[in-house]
Structure 1
């Protein structure tokens, strides 16, 4: 289920109908070169995106498109549930698979290893709390990435886990850039200048606000 609160753009769903599925794939390809979606927050019920959409349950994200991913439990994340990935051309640079909770990561790696190898697909399987900022980071770097995200099982009483600054959150998570670089065929030192510039601009803004505050208090 996709709940659209602020956007009239079409959403696509995994279905049992092959024709509908292929239509979704075509739509994914058409939007891959445009702007991208980022994940603002998530909880055990789903994900809130930057376009105002709240996706209930598991989802797939590529470019400007969010799809409901038809898996009810982690046990249903099987080769069959990933068939769509083999239909996307060109192949994504990287597939980020959010396994929900951390304990699911090893299970899915073992279950799906042969599928990704046979189809020559690059994948990183990690806890969803790590997958969300990782996908945001890759999208900000304009990488051709696909996100498959299963909700976490539960959160603390505060509710939504927010990703208010996609860039600073990605850095704060201390992503292993050497691994990411190896997977994507790039060098670690090529982490986007845009990322560093945005962080520097934000730090400068905070510094200026602090200086103004000091002047006003004197």
Structure 2
């Protein structure tokens, strides 16, 4: 059997756009030629509902093309503004929407902003007493987790605070330069007519 590797560049790993590697079970394959690994980009499947395509210090871009400014409460088919400024503002009142829902959420993914931001342990106990399971992560990881659980058709919601610290790598710079050139070229083409 031949071993094949999937090469993923660093920009694909750092961004919340989520892909899933799948492999067809051996018993369903007809020959060695069909032994392939495929990549499925979850954010491209509109029927899966809303997912986070990207984030910045000011907000989020969703897979339907909408940009949302500030912290958000995100559900599979709905996005709402969430009135918190930082992880210190997360309290019983700010989370009331999530524990009052019927039917109950399978899980609430909280994106606290940057690595190292915390949620008060009393709030965690309070939500557990209300029957809501929590996953508390930096926003970068929370976006990916929400996308994955939403794709699995779990009854999930996300409470996301935009991160302050954004890391930019070389691939991000190259992609930004390509977009700039494409935009510049399209404006030149418009001037010709």
Q: When the two structures are superposed, what TM-score results if normalisation uses the length of structure 1? A: 0.54
Deviation for aligned residue 1:86: 2.1
Unpaired segments ≥5 residues, structure 1: 1-33, 162-218
Contact 1:100/1:149 (<8 A) preserved:
yes
Please show how residues 1-218 of structure 1 align to structure 2 within 5 Å: 35-104=48-117, 107-108=118-119, 110-157=121-168
CA 1:109–1:72 in 2, change beyond 3 Å: closer, same or farther? closer
More helix by share: 1
Deviation for aligned residue 1:109: 5.0
Deviation for aligned residue 1:111: 4.0
SS at match of 2:127: helix
CA RMSD of aligned residues (A): 1.9
Deviation for aligned residue 1:36: 1.1
Query: 1:144-170 CA distances to partner (integer Å, 9 max, x unpaired)?
Result: 101110110121356xx8xxxxxxxxx
Contact 2:86/2:112 (<8 A) preserved:
no
Query: 1:77-129 CA distances to partner (integer Å, 9 max, x unpaired)?
Result: 1111111112210001111000111211xx30524122112201111101111
- Higher-Rg structure is 2
Contact 2:85/2:161 (<8 A) preserved:
no
Query: 1:10-43 CA distances to partner (integer Å, 9 max, x unpaired)?
Result: xxxxxxxxxxxxxxxxxxxxxxxx7410110001
Unpaired segments ≥5 residues, structure 2: 1-46, 173-193
Q: When the two structures are superposed, what TM-score results if normalisation uses the length of structure 2? A: 0.60
Contact 2:109/2:146 (<8 A) preserved:
yes
SS at match of 1:102: coil
